[in-house]
Amino acid sequence: MESDVVIAGAGPNGLMLACELALAGVRPLVLERLTGPSSEQRANGLVGQIVRMIDRRGLYERLSGTPGPPLPVPRFMFAAFPVNFGELPDNPVYVQLVPQRRIEEVLAERAAELGVEIRRGHELVGLSQRDDAVTVEVSGPQGRHAVQGRYLVGADGGHSLARKLAGIDFPGVTNDRTVSRAAHVRVPKELIDPATGGLAVPGYGVVPPFLHHRTERGLVAFAPFPDGRTLLNVSEIADPDFDAPFTIAELRAAARRVLGADIEVQEPEGPGPHMLRRLAGGNTRLAERFRAGRVLLVGDAAHVHSAIGGNGLNLGLQDAINLGWKLAAEVQGWAPPGLLDSYEAERRPVGERVTMHTMAQGVLVGPGREVTALRTLFGELLEERTTVQHIADMISGADIRYDHMGRWAPDITLHSESGPTRLAELTRTARPLLLDMTGDGDLAAEVGPWLDRIDVVTGHGMTDCTERSEGQEGMPGRLSDDTKATAMLLRPDCYVAWESESSQPDGAALRAALARWFGPGQPV
């Protein structure tokens, strides 16, 4: 067997999965059609729970370039509404502005550190399965050849060949009415609003930064990124000449139609790659299943949806993190029955939910007076704090609950004789984790048969030290219902598999949770 797991695609999702597998002691092989990093500009950052998950794998500082944990943002957008999340008692909306190319660079660096082999210029062109393996046909620099793996994971995007070869349908809807134009541009200094950093359009007003700005004729987004790039995006219902090359002049003309005023943006300066992209229509699709035998799907290979809201990488990267430890358990032989199938059972409903709310946002940002009326009503609903919390939890993924377990573990600090330790410092190995804060460490005896696959941390208490949004008063060490627990068992994806608030936790219940998620223990 050449590899434990073959991964088709070295985008963020494929690389994240490779890292998770390598941390679990599994040998992944990544095949990538491109010979080098993609020059195409796609996602511009991370939104939601994945920002904290990246922190819990020790990668946040590499991406941010700054020390310390991530902070939630006080404001973000939903369907072109600027929503104030900063006043929520529990704000789960985290954002990291970083181009996808940099995300791929960091993940590729981490994969190399973990010994992952990435074969660039090697493309999946065929596959066949048998009961114990997958044979993958590959087209590479030396021609066609075959590689074998225990499993194949398609992380090869919305046009996934892995999905097609596995015979998995990709139902959904395509809307051909909207044309989206996006480009990096140079903006004269006099057009930058000093108060907001937005785009001051003569004869119109200010287009705020990093928010979708809707008129009854279309949508405009202006994004001056911290690294010096400035992106202008304009969406409208139109019928352009797709045979003609897309230019900055065409972008300006589209903005003039949507805003009713001209924006004197110009060609960008400096080294590229610079985005210059024109897309027609919207595509929302969800794979009918995420697994066919020994072939599994992650990311865009499993689901595509509108980019409104920036949830694509939040969804895809967390697919990879959910799948990684389960696939490793199957390869290593300790997975309990049904563990690998729980990947689809848990993640497909999340994909359904994301496609639901991105489609809803697509309606709310559409043109027309009737949509304006709908937005007026929706804006009134956003004045209710419960609605704002619901929106925050939904777009961040904080509302995800899986069967037979609790939610994602909060950002807690554990206290022991050696001092305080952030949870994020304990989860970088991607191993299951038992936190025993009873003070006597007796739970370690219950975990004995599983110590080959589980880490145990003991101490005398834990507090919720969730960071506050910038501008809010800090509440360090605040104790919430989530941290009344005296013991907590976490899966590698940081979801709570078991917890207790008793000073003498139920050992039988803990052993049942261990067996459910991590298989039968080894004889002691």
Query: Taking 60 as the threshold, does the pLDDT of residue 474 lie above it?
Result: no
pLDDT tens-digit readout, 374-404: 999 999 999 999 999 999 999 999 999 898 7
Same structural domain, 449 and 492: yes
Same structural domain, 341 and 472: no
Same structural domain, 361 and 440: no
pLDDT tens-digit readout, 133-181: 999 999 999 999 999 999 999 999 999 999 999 999 999 987 767 888 9
Spell out the alpha helix ranges (H) of 365-491. 369-381, 385-396, 443-447
- Whether the CB-CB separation of 209 and 191 falls below 8 Å is answered with no
Structure tokens at 146: 């075959």
Same structural domain, 86 and 103: yes
Its domain, for residue 461, covers 412-518
Structure tokens at 416: 């022991």
Within a domain: 436 = yes
Rounded Cα distance, 174 and 167, in Å: 21
Ranked by mean pLDDT, the top range of 26-40, 245-259, 269-283 is: 245-259
Answer with the one of 396, 420, 435 that is the final residue of a domain: 396
Rounded Cα distance, 415 and 193, in Å: 47
Same structural domain, 491 and 357: no
- According to the model, what pLDDT value does residue 41 have? 60
Same structural domain, 16 and 139: yes
- According to the model, what pLDDT value does residue 44 have? 77
Within a domain: 26 = yes
Average pLDDT over residues 114-143: 95
Same structural domain, 440 and 462: yes
Structure tokens at 387: 């609605």
- According to the model, what pLDDT value does residue 481 have? 41
pLDDT tens-digit readout, 499-509: 998 888 899 99
CATH number, domain at 469?
3.40.30.120
Same structural domain, 25 and 154: yes
Q: Which residues of 272-300 are buried (b: 16+ CB within 10 A; e: fewer)?
A: eebbbebeeebebbbbebbbbebbbbbbb
Within a domain: 403 = no
Instruction: Tell me the pairing of strands 45-47 and 496-500.
Output: unpaired
Same structural domain, 301 and 359: yes
Within a domain: 407 = no
- Smallest CA-to-CA distance from 305 within 238, 349, 353, 366 is with 353
DSSP for 287-314 reads -S-SEETTEEE-GGGTEE---TTS-HHH
Same structural domain, 234 and 268: yes
Q: What average pLDDT does the chain have?
A: 90
- According to the model, what pLDDT value does residue 208 have? 92
How is the beta sheet containing 419-422 ordered, strand by strand?
Answer: 419-422, 412-416, 461-464
- According to the model, what pLDDT value does residue 468 have? 54
Average pLDDT over residues 59-74: 93
CATH number, domain at 260?
3.30.70.2450
Domain count, the chain: 3
Within a domain: 405 = no
473 falls in which pLDDT band (50, 70, 90)?
very low
The percent of residues above 90 in pLDDT, for the chain, comes to 69
CATH number, domain at 57?
3.50.50.60
| Residue 281: C-alpha distances to residues 15, 159, 236, 311, 419 (Å) | 29, 16, 10, 18, 55
pLDDT tens-digit readout, 316-349: 999 999 999 999 999 999 999 999 999 999 999 9
E strand residue ranges, 16-170: 28-32, 45-47, 75-78, 81-84, 95-97, 117-120, 123-130, 133-140, 143-154
- Whether the CB-CB separation of 333 and 517 falls below 8 Å is answered with no
Same structural domain, 28 and 160: yes
- According to the model, what pLDDT value does residue 475 have? 35
Within a domain: 252 = yes
Give residue 326's identity as a one-letter amino acid code. Answer: K
- According to the model, what pLDDT value does residue 460 have? 86
Phi, psi of 112 (to 5 degrees): -65, -40
| Residue 452: C-alpha distances to residues 24, 138, 512, 521 (Å) | 12, 36, 17, 9
Within a domain: 401 = no
Ranked by mean pLDDT, the top range of 32-46, 251-265, 478-492 is: 251-265
Any idea which of 25-29, 79-83, 278-282, 433-437 has the lowest mean pLDDT? 278-282
Query: Taking 90 as the threshold, does the pLDDT of residue 122 lie above it?
Result: yes
Answer with the one of 237, 261, 281 that is the final residue of a domain: 281
- According to the model, what pLDDT value does residue 273 have? 79
- According to the model, what pLDDT value does residue 1 have? 60
pLDDT tens-digit readout, 185-235: 999 999 999 999 999 999 999 999 988 899 999 999 999 988 788 999 999
- According to the model, what pLDDT value does residue 74 have? 94
SS3 (DSSP) at 27:
coil
DSSP for 218-283 reads EEEEEEE-TTS-EEEEEEEE----TTSPP-HHHHHHHHHHHHSS----B---SSS---EEEEEEEE
Same structural domain, 152 and 189: no
Within a domain: 523 = no
Average pLDDT over residues 50-71: 94
Answer with the one of 281, 301, 331 that is the final residue of a domain: 281
- Report how far Cα 281 is from the mean position of its chain's Cα atoms: 23
- According to the model, what pLDDT value does residue 311 have? 78
